[in-house]
Structure 1
Amino acid sequence: MKNLQRNLSARHIRFLALGSAIGTGLFYGSASAIQMAGPAVILAYILGGAAVYMVMRALGEMAVREPVSGSFGRYASEYLGPLAGFLTGWTYILEMIIVCLADVTAFGIYMGFWFPEVPQWVWVLGIVMLICGLNLCNVKVFGELEFWLALVKILAIAAMIIGGILILFLGVKMNGEHTPGLTNLWAHGGFLPHGAGGLIASLAVVMFAYGGIEIIGITGGEAKNPEQVIPRAINAVPARILLFYVLTMTVLMAIFPWTGIGGQGSPFVQIFSGLGIQSAAAILNLIVISAAISAINSNIFGAGRMMFGMAEQGHAPRLFATTSRHGVPWVTVLAMAAALLGGVVLNYLIPEQVFVIIASIATFATVWVWLMILLSQVAMRRRLSAEEVRALKFKVPMWPVGPALAIAFMLFVIGVLGYVEDTRVALYIGAGWVALLSLAWYLRGKPRESRMLTRESSAS
């Protein structure tokens, strides 16, 4: 059995995070967020992006100080206690599985653009088999592939923003009816058409869209020169994602009235179809398909590495720590493939409702993980001496106000899940998940942790 190999460069890690966070949430899920908040969804993306940046800085402070596989699962164990680490690691794995289910579902919907007669579940099965095969490759090959997949969608978003701005200046009419212009941001019921309630309700979808960016912390165990690579990646990625989301939403709703952006496929494809450019719509559909593949690819990587770290701590079956001759934890990849086959079943049984249900559950898991990252960083700071704090190489900004505001925001989003009727089921399932994990910990995990700590003490 070999250890994980440090073959991921700064370029790989930056694009891995972009690949994980810029995917279904932007290309498909943004439609439902727009319907909830109208043009005010732009504010939701700004608020969510600021909170996520604080999460990333908190994670970066810990990851630069101690770059390990399993990352924030280990930090939660060390600074909040073994139970917190157990809950955080397995909830992140749930997050990645659920987000992957959303992405494979969206992939099936995208393929319906060209092949409406083919059942959705067929495409889902095919993509699960393909991506899991890719994840069995050497991590350097995986990182290079993810770089190019992510680059395609980033260039596509940039082209869409530039093209959208040109359309605004030229005043091309959509479907011969609507004239693009910034006035579309307030001309159809106002900037806040559903009031503050609509803005708050959209936070559930918006935070789902940002989910996955924390994968930067997972790469610590396989990054070259983590003390240099991780800070550069963290400082670059959140600002770029915020820029992409805010600019994209602004251009999207200026080109086309928000009232006409629905949930039938990607709103990006809908825009170009509305312009009557069918070939452009087909090209853009190919791009959003590559974006979904990229997100699935990086999320399977993140879940697999977390399982590997959990297995090393005794929080998961030891078999998950088994690696191939290329240093790839292949058992975790196969475990993810088995979990994603559940997406095939869901897409067979309820192809219409599956995305909204999956996205709301993923939001709970995502926000829970971010909350644990923030709390772990606060606990770490309180444990360090003044000299150790001064020695930190990548400190959280605005300490302690920044982390405190981010923690309050995460708790607020969890409350929103319970307040909004459509997402309330996610809070129930999330609470049940945490309760079930806690029970599993006390029945099985706690004794194992005690035995592991005993072995470590005797070894030292």
Structure 2
Amino acid sequence: MNTTDGQPAKAHTSEVPDPARKSGDPAPAGSLRRGLTARHIRFMALGSAIGTGLFMGSAGAIKTAGPSVLLAYIIGGAAVFMVMRALGELAVRNPVSGSFSAYASRYISPFAGFLVGWTYTFEMFVVALADVTAFGIYMGFWFPDVARWIWVLAAVLFIAALNLISVKVFGELEFWFSLIKITAIVLMIVGGIAVIIFGFGTQSEGAAGLSNLLGHGGFMPNGLWGFVASFTIVMFAFGGIEVIGITAGEAKDPGRVIPQAINSVPVRILLFYVLTLGVIMCLQPWNSLDGNTSPFVAVFDSLGIPAAAHVLNFVIITAALSAINADIFGAGRMLHGLAEKGQAPKSFTRTSRGGVPYMPVVAMVAALLVGVVINALFPDQVFFLIAALATFATVLVWLVILIAHVRMKREVARGGLEPSAFPVPWWPAASYVTIAFVIAVLALIAIVPDTRPAIYVGAGWVLLLAAWYWLSQRRRAGSNPVN
């Protein structure tokens, strides 16, 4: 087996580059600095599950599936856990810059690495567009007369400045953002349960309770199709969680902190999605949520608790800023990794004295300014189309991660290599079931009328990348003729 540059691969887990470099050491030119501690990555893992997909996207998922959306989040969350375990096994075995792009290049093909790297960057761009759009919507709760694009521009510039300082600043910011979100979610669950039990703020006896999950058309009010169609929105909520793998190149102890972060995924999904949305739909019937505003704010506002609605809106704004922060971080590190392999402009390998790849960050911010224009021109239609595009990019990235992991496991078995320190559970059956599920979600995006345009854009994106890769390979071959 050869690596992507044609050199023989090392037959052990000693593939890790510069493992001894400490966070306080000067970053060599063009290299990233290991400045993310266990605390940073643990809270990034927690915070990555609480963002626009939960606070805003869940409204559309509830409208589509009704209470059965809880089952959709459980199934989707199980698939996400398997994707993260696959990525975790790859990352612990070889924690590198560029993460799953490097794994796809090595275990599938150089084009697969090129495809997944640029598609992930596209995903982060699209998800960031959704996040800045949601940020503008949330600010409209307080300032309805201010144009949304003004808030979008302010958010982009603020987060860009923070990302250009150092990875440690990024980690600290994510820590505090995540702490705010997690605390608020837990308090909201406790408060919601109190309302259900004691009836605080309800307009009539029994207005809030478990009966709301079954009393308005049943658990699956829109039928099996409504439940199945909700996966096109549900999976968007988990998009970006793979940023944990991106941190491998800048984690101080990836072999310890990445497994800890990934193993917390099931608890996060049950707590932050299933329990939280279950409480919301017990507080207010699912069919009274209009799908256009955050169900979190709408529920507490309708229950006559305006102060809680304002506090939750602040938390949601924090979640959006946190997500934008992680989006720019993930895209910047991926572009840096692509540039190191010659699959992106060489200027993207340049780093600041703090070890930040500043050119990819600047490029990502410049691209996000497109979001300002989109929000100015199409303020009412932009969010859910962006969400569909993000879902396509997300599941395509997950599919490549899963295939790369299968190829890696086969290579380890064939070569008699040392077993992985963090193997996936229930191998190989669960991995193949997850691959089938991800392919089914891609098919759903093509079938559901509201999300079908995302498939057209996504297919065009893949064809564009294929043409770009083919042309670049021909150009390289022409500039290096064989004697």
TM-score by length of 1: 0.95
**What's the offset of the Cα at 1:233?**
1.2
Within-5 A mapping of 1:71-150: 71-150=99-178
The one-letter code sitting in structure 2 at the alignment partner of 1:292 is: A
Secondary structure at 2:230 match in 1: helix
- Alignment size in residue pairs: 453
**What's the offset of the Cα at 1:21?**
3.2
Question: What residue in structure 2 maps to residue 237 of structure 1?
Answer: 265
Q: Which one has a larger percent helix, Structure 1 or Structure 2? A: 1
| C-alpha contact (below 8 Å) 2:194/2:200 kept by paired residues | no
The one-letter code sitting in structure 2 at the alignment partner of 1:235 is: N
Aligned pair 1:12/2:40, yes or no?
yes
Q: 1:62 to 1:446 in 2, by over 3 A?
A: farther
Question: What residue in structure 2 maps to residue 67 of structure 1?
Answer: 95
Write the distance in 1 (CA, Å) between the matches of 2:478 and 2:209.
63
Aligned pair 1:297/2:325, yes or no?
yes
| C-alpha contact (below 8 Å) 2:201/2:304 kept by paired residues | no
| C-alpha contact (below 8 Å) 1:173/1:180 kept by paired residues | no
Secondary structure at 1:301 match in 2: helix
Write the distance in 2 (CA, Å) between the matches of 1:100 and 1:428.
20
| C-alpha contact (below 8 Å) 1:172/1:179 kept by paired residues | no
Write the distance in 2 (CA, Å) between the matches of 1:326 and 1:448.
33
Runs ≥4 residues deviating over 4 A:
175-178, 386-390, 445-452
The one-letter code sitting in structure 2 at the alignment partner of 1:247 is: L
Q: Indicate the larger mover: 111-120 or 230-239.
A: 230-239
Within-5 A mapping of 1:185-200: 185-200=213-228
| Deviation digits for residues 255-283 of structure 1 (CA, Å, limit 9, x no counterpart) | 10000112332110111101111121111
Question: What residue in structure 2 maps to residue 307 of structure 1?
Answer: 335
Question: What residue in structure 1 maps to residue 3 of structure 2?
Answer: none
Question: What residue in structure 2 maps to residue 438 of structure 1?
Answer: 466
Question: What residue in structure 2 maps to residue 374 of structure 1?
Answer: 402
| C-alpha contact (below 8 Å) 1:273/1:281 kept by paired residues | yes
Within-5 A mapping of 1:55-454: 55-172=83-200, 174-176=202-204, 179-385=207-413, 388=416, 390-445=418-473, 448=476
| Deviation digits for residues 378-430 of structure 1 (CA, Å, limit 9, x no counterpart) | 01111123675552101011111011000000000001001110000011111
Question: What residue in structure 2 maps to residue 457 of structure 1?
Answer: none
**What's the offset of the Cα at 1:243?**
2.5
Write the distance in 2 (CA, Å) between the matches of 1:172 and 1:20.
32
| C-alpha contact (below 8 Å) 1:91/1:369 kept by paired residues | yes
| C-alpha contact (below 8 Å) 2:81/2:265 kept by paired residues | no
Write the distance in 2 (CA, Å) between the matches of 1:161 and 1:439.
50
**What's the offset of the Cα at 1:447?**
5.0
| C-alpha contact (below 8 Å) 2:125/2:368 kept by paired residues | yes
| C-alpha contact (below 8 Å) 1:33/1:206 kept by paired residues | yes
| C-alpha contact (below 8 Å) 1:185/1:191 kept by paired residues | yes
Write the distance in 2 (CA, Å) between the matches of 1:276 and 1:212.
34
Q: 1:279 to 1:62 in 2, by over 3 A?
A: same
Q: 1:287 to 1:445 in 2, by over 3 A?
A: farther
Write the distance in 2 (CA, Å) between the matches of 1:410 and 1:320.
31
Q: 1:242 to 1:443 in 2, by over 3 A?
A: farther
Q: Indicate the larger mover: 172-181 or 47-56.
A: 172-181
Secondary structure at 2:141 match in 1: coil
TM-score by length of 2: 0.91
